[in-house]
Structure 1
Amino acid sequence: MKYILTIACTILSVTASLAQRNAVEPGQPWPDQNGNHIQAHGGGIIKINKTYYWYGEERRQGLDPNLRYVSCYSSKDLMNWEFQKDVVQMADPENLGAGWILERPKVYYQAKTKKYVMYFHLDDRQYKYARVGIAVSDSATGNFKFVKSFRPLGHQSRDIGQFVDDDGSAYLIFEDRELGFHIVKLADDLMSVEKEMSLVKESLEGGAIVHYKGLYYAIGSALTGWDPNPNKYATATSLEGPWTDFKDIAPPETNTYQSQSTMMLKVIGTKATTVIFMADQWKPKSQWDSRYLWMPLEIGDGKLWLPKPQPWSLNIKTGAFKLAEK
């Protein structure tokens, strides 16, 4: 009987871990298909055909401290995620020394070359190197191979963000402690920077941009390290600016509900368009337990607001979201 009960409990446990999720629960553990909390911190998302790929910093316990890892998850509905693999398991690529840094991986797809190009913040433990690294793969699920690093247009680069416009043009956002918040266009092959679109002279990181109904909305986070702060937004009719003054996206006393921006994801459906605010709730002393705050934004007519987080669901076909009933 004890043996039967053990088997039954195991089956129930596996069944629970594999159950389909019907809502996003901001700030709660987010299990993948195996029941493990998703490890895709500081990440970004691309959509290939009908599949979304989420890449981020792999921070699970027990990793080799000499390597840096980037994970990849896939989903059809943005609520249920399947762990694919760690698409990067990288040793120190440029002799940066102990504690070297790979952060905020972002992947772009080049349709002509059929290459997947990953940008990431590459640094030493003192944050003096301040470069972007590039790794390339022939498939969405890797393996990504390191190619090179550089300073975009000669500027130092730490936190990075990605943006792909409606016409497919790819852009990089990066934080430059000396000058401000850069928005640059990538070359067609995605392997270098073509030109600068804007330099926003604000001390911001965690950059995210979305193009919505004729306006560009840019979000940034103040430079407070792991500690959350009031994220802010500005708008412009062109990526070249001019940009409006920055305003709070949430009540400032909440420190953006204890989160930091990483991306805005636009979901266009048959009936509606939803813009999702993607953010990290960092736990520096237990990074493997850092959470995600994803929430549909109130956006339009030059205004952007992050509602108080609560469970919500998304109809990927229609593009409409629904808040969970209280």
Structure 2
Amino acid sequence: MSRLAAYCCLAWLLLLRPGNVSGAITPGAVWLDNRGQQIQAHGGGILKVGDTFFWFGEDRTQGLDPNKRYVSCYASKDLEHWTFRDQVLKLSDPENFGPGWLIERPKVFYNAATKKYVLYAHVDDGTYKLARVGIAISDTVDGNYRYLKSFRPLGLESRDIGQFIDDDGTAYLIFESRPTKGFVIARLSPDYLNVEKQMSLVPAPLEGGAVVHYKGLYYVIGSHLTGWSPNPNVYATATSLEGPWTEFKNIAPPALKTYNSQSSTLLRIIGTKTTSVIFMADQWKPKELWDSRYLWMPLQIDGGQLLLPEPRPWTIDINTGEAKY
């Protein structure tokens, strides 16, 4: 069997795996929360508060009110075991977006000045022509978020969004702007309720944008525009968020289509011994969105090179930062 065929078989077996290996994070497995229910945090992001990680994402549970859209929140101290906190956003159509309106890829920032938690999400009508971000706020990380408004950041179309918080605490929104044939990295306003300044237009027609700062370089990852279908995700680097960015390279063998996943977030874990960067992605099932899975893997990253290894069960020590298979 060729190496490529072996990779394909492994990826398929992981998709069929019924559940997490005990004591490990298993990419593509059914991931259960403390209630024994499948985690619903699709297109999600992570916010760390103290020693606790909060995972926000789209709740696609079967049987929910079809007139509402839901964002769920889970909490964990080890990134493996997750406790359901609440559906922090349960929203009826807030601005008459119309049939099929949607909320996608929610991300939450904490604003230390206002002491508010600010949720950003892609909001749209059923035809994806509205192309806005929506904002909701809460006094607590897992509280009930109150919807405020929607707008096009910097007057640009915005569909898939990502978040990035730099080492100095500055918060940035990443958003796909199709007419510009690229995606934008933009600084948030001091209160996080607006998008203040474009830092960079990443010159490639990509979505699913995510950024991490690692050893003096900014790494950006994106997914090609193929809708729900997976594709070879790519990365570029720069010494500044303002660029210039290098040419894009594949993060994994292109024939494997990022192991049937699409990028969502890059999570950096700084430990006492090392720093790990985790690739967080979704394995979408468009006809059964409730059963879409998650592919989380520690990246091989250094010196401007980045590689997503073949998926397999792994663990991470949050204190030391060490990831092991």
Show the counterpart of 1:119.
Answer: 120
Alignment partners' CA distance in 1, 2:122 and 2:196: 19
Alignment partners' CA distance in 1, 2:112 and 2:144: 18
Show the counterpart of 2:224.
Answer: 222
Unaligned runs of 5+ in 2: 1-19
- Higher-Rg structure is 1
Show the counterpart of 1:171.
Answer: 172
Show the counterpart of 2:155.
Answer: 154
User: TM-score, normalization: structure 1?
Assistant: 0.92
Q: Offset of 1:112 from its aligned partner?
A: 1.7
Show the counterpart of 1:15.
Answer: none
How well do the aligned residues superpose, as a CA RMSD in angstroms? 1.1
Alignment of 1:187-198 (within 5 A): 187-198=189-200
Show the counterpart of 1:105.
Answer: 106
Show the counterpart of 2:93.
Answer: 92
3-state SS of paired residue (1:254) = helix
Which of 258, 269, 282 aligns to 1:280? It is 282
Alignment partners' CA distance in 1, 2:31 and 2:50: 24
Show the counterpart of 1:134.
Answer: 135
Alignment of 1:1-326 (within 5 A): 21-179=22-180, 180-323=182-325
Contact residue 21 and residue 79 of structure 1 kept, 8 A: no
Q: Offset of 1:34 from its aligned partner?
A: 1.0
Unaligned runs of 5+ in 1: 1-18
Alignment partners' CA distance in 1, 2:203 and 2:214: 23
Letter paired with 2:23: N
User: TM-score, normalization: structure 2?
Assistant: 0.93
3-state SS of paired residue (1:284) = coil
Alignment partners' CA distance in 2, 1:23 and 1:306: 18
3-state SS of paired residue (1:307) = coil
Q: Offset of 1:167 from its aligned partner?
A: 1.0
Alignment partners' CA distance in 2, 1:308 and 1:188: 40
Alignment partners' CA distance in 2, 1:65 and 1:146: 18
Aligned pairs, how many?
A: 305
Contact residue 20 and residue 80 of structure 1 kept, 8 A: no
3-state SS of paired residue (2:287) = helix
3-state SS of paired residue (1:171) = strand
Contact residue 274 and residue 296 of structure 1 kept, 8 A: yes
Alignment partners' CA distance in 1, 2:44 and 2:200: 23
Alignment partners' CA distance in 2, 1:122 and 1:111: 25
Alignment partners' CA distance in 2, 1:70 and 1:21: 27
1:21 and 1:112, CA in 2 relative to 1: closer, same or farther beyond 3 A? farther
3-state SS of paired residue (2:269) = strand
Q: Offset of 1:20 from its aligned partner?
A: 11
Q: How far does the alpha carbon of each residue in 1:126-180 deviate from its partner, in whole angstroms, 9 at most, with x for none?
A: 1111000000000011200100111110001000000011111100000011002
Between the aligned residues of both structures, percent identity stands at: 65
3-state SS of paired residue (1:65) = coil
Runs of 4+ with >3 A deviation:
none
3-state SS of paired residue (2:107) = strand
